[in-house]
């Protein structure tokens, strides 16, 4: 049975904004290895549209970016959206019955399935489907933006903390 994991970069004051966090080489290598290890990923529409950047090769990429793109393209993706009409390669559009789809993925797959996007993660948390939270804390204070957690969350229990790269701490929590 697969485990649904919500992993996202966050500022010290609790906001998410992918344009404000650029990983150092060690953290980027961690993300490459993480993506390679996943059974798949579940995306909300907005996060999927951001991540589609990795679908096309770019001449300015270095080896690490090419490695990340290859890992991202290889993994199966499920995109939860009512507005998209289609999705890219190795992706499946989920329009209806998100709960049944995610429960089915968890029952059918082995390993970790990562969920990306705070709004989708909130919905899946409300359904009791998120098994683990991996928060990558960056030493940045944004003072604005989209909060990682909007609204009450279930009680969480810290199960691990890891320093990754020069400045990032990953905190791993499970529902208590």
Task: Work out the pLDDT band at 154, boundaries 50, 70, 90.
Answer: confident
The structure tokens 């030493």 sit at 139
Q: Is the pTM of this model over 0.75?
A: yes
Over 90: is that where the pLDDT of 68 sits? yes
Residue spans per domain, the chain? 2-134+141-175
Over 80: is that where the pLDDT of 79 sits? yes
**Chain centre distance of CA 124:** 13
Cβ atoms of residues 154 and 125 within 8 Å: yes
Cβ atoms of residues 16 and 137 within 8 Å: no
The pLDDT mean for the chain works out to 93
Tell me what pLDDT residue 20 has: 83
Cβ atoms of residues 166 and 36 within 8 Å: no
The first and second tokens of residue 98, run together, are 């998100």
Between vectors from CA 158 to CA 155 and to CA 164, what angle results, nearest 5°?
A: 135
Burial of 3 per CB tally in 10 Å (0-12, 13-18, 19+): middle
| Domain 2-134+141-175 fold | Dihydrofolate Reductase, subunit A (3.40.430)
Tell me what pLDDT residue 149 has: 78
């Amino acid at each position: 049975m697969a485990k649904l994991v919500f992993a996202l970069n966050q500022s010290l004051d609790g906001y998410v904004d992918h344009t404000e966090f650029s990983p150092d080489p060690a953290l980027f290598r961690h993300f490459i290895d993480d993506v390679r290890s996943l059974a798949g990923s579940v995306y909300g529409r907005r996060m999927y549209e951001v991540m589609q950047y990795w679908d096309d090769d770019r001449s300015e990429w270095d080896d690490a970016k090419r490695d990340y793109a290859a890992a991202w393209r290889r993994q199966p993706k499920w995109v939860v959206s009512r507005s998209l009409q289609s999705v890219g390669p190795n992706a499946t559009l989920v329009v209806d019955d998100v709960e049944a789809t995610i429960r089915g993925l968890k029952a059918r797959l082995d390993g970790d399935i990562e969920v990306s996007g705070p709004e989708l993660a909130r919905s899946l948390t409300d359904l009791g489907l998120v098994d683990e939270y991996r928060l990558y804390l960056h030493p940045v204070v944004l003072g604005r933006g989209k909060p990682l957690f909007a609204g009450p969350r279930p009680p969480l229990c810290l199960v691990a903390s890891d320093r990754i790269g020069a400045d990032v701490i990953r905190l791993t929590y499970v529902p208590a």
